Amino acid sequence: MDILPIPEKQREPSQSGGWQKDMARRRYQNGCIRKRGKRNPVWELLWWEDFIKEDGSVGRRLASKTLGAVRDLTRRQAKKLAEEHLRPLNLGRVMPLSTVTLGDFVKQQFVPNVFPVLKLSTQDRYRRTLDNHILPALGARRLCDMGTLDLQRFILQKADTGLSWACVDHYRHLLSKIFSTAKKWSYYSGENPAAGVELPEKKSVREKHVLTPEQISQLLSVLGEPVRTMFLLAILQVCAWEKFSAYAGRT
């Protein structure tokens, strides 16, 4: 028996003006339970769910879920499962999902509306990070489908390539800014997944090399002026600083 409200049967048009306002007007749903299939029939639950469209407004679409095989469940048992499934929705605990991909949001909303308020140097760095790293890896994913674990894996993969701690921290910061902006503009309704991302232990990427006295002598013998004098002055400054530090430590 179809028990969906009449306006929902007529595919009520989507509302605009912020999905939070629209959600407050949604009705209590019982859904519709029906048999589907002939050889191995199953109980199927139909209900209306909200989703965030690309323009930020809320649309409604028909959703479905298989509750179980008819041979295993009576209609009453299937109805009880349906009530349990719809309970979070009717209590207002289910937020609408966004159909917008990260790439579309970045290109259509983030870059045009966030970049103009940033310094040119920040814009350039963001653009390089987006084009070379974030969008190739995550651009095709929907915002609503990405969680902290997805971003954690992305960050660890970048760290494994030998990038510095500062670089991967920058990637995490930019991802956090994208998701917080999407939520502020009603393109995303969940918690910021980047907030829970942890970085690897901070360490030096490149091993430091110290010249031996023999190597210094060899360089002085082959360097021409004025590079030789500049190199010698730099060495003397380092030696003077080390002596001063040692003296200061004793006093």
Of 167, 189, 153, nearest to 22 (Cα)?
A: 189
CA atoms within 13 A on the CB side of 102: 26
Establish whether the linkage from the previous residue to 136 is cis, with ω within 30° of 0.
no
Mean pLDDT to the nearest integer, 105-122: 95
Given a contact cutoff of 8 angstroms between Cβ atoms, the answer to whether 147 and 175 are in contact is no
Alpha helices for 3-68 (secondary structure H) = 6-9, 19-23
Tokens of 242: 């080390």
Tokens of 102: 């990260």
Q: SS3 helix, strand, coil % of the chain, rounded to 5? A: 55, 15, 35
Q: How far, in Å, CA of 81 to CA of 46, rounded?
A: 12
For the stretch 158-178, pLDDT in tens is: 999 988 899 999 999 999 999
Greater pLDDT, 22 or 108:
108
Taking the whole predicted model, whether its pTM rises above 0.85 is answered as: no
Mean pLDDT to the nearest integer, 206-223: 78
Of 146, 234, 157, 156, nearest to 190 (Cα)?
A: 146
Range from 2-16, 50-64, 210-224 that averages highest in pLDDT: 210-224
pLDDT grade for 242, boundaries at 50, 70 and 90: low
pLDDT grade for 131, boundaries at 50, 70 and 90: very high
Domains parsed from the chain with CATH numbers: 6-98 (no CATH), 102-196 (1.10.150.130), 213-250 (no CATH)
Q: Is it the case that residue 90 has pLDDT exceeding 90?
A: no
At 98 the pLDDT is 64
Tokens of 183: 């939520």
Of 161, 14, 188, nearest to 97 (Cα)?
A: 188
Burial group, residue 115, by CB count within 10 angstroms (0-12, 13-18, 19+): middle
